[in-house]
Amino acid sequence: MKLNITILFLAVFALAGCVTGGPDRGHIVMKTSDDTAHVALGSGAVKVGDHVELYHNECAGGGGIKSDGELRHCKKVSTGHGDVIELYDADYSVVKFPKGTKFSEGDTIEKHRH
């Protein structure tokens, strides 16, 4: 049963990557100060000046699969926004957040669609 659920998750994520028109999405790789972070969302997805949304995943009981095979449910919660201030390469950029924005490594970043 657990193997079937794992295979299902892998299939869903693989298919989700093939969908066009979805958000450009990445995550915080490293918090570099109280208001800046290196993110895995590079020049292929964003440019300097782009606005991004910040999300934290809140998972009941830690997320993932329980020992009995039941799925724990997570929800994506918007926690702020920021701006791309620098591009490192095709994979990484720097985002600056307003002072007081709470963020941490692993949080999700999505390019804001106007």
Does residue 113 have a pLDDT over 80?
no
**Does 96 score more than 60 pLDDT?**
yes
**Count of alpha carbons within 13 angstroms of residue 104, beta-carbon side:** 3
43 pLDDT higher than 60: yes
**All domains in the chain, ordered by first residue:** 23-111 (2.40.10.410)
Q: Give percent of the chain above pLDDT 70.
A: 72
- More confident of the two residues 59 and 82: 82
- Give the whole-angstrom CA distance, residue 33 versus residue 50: 20
Helix, strand or coil for residue 51? Answer: strand
pLDDT tens for each residue of 50-72: 999 999 988 876 666 666 767 77
Phi, psi for 36 (deg, rounded to 5): -135, 155
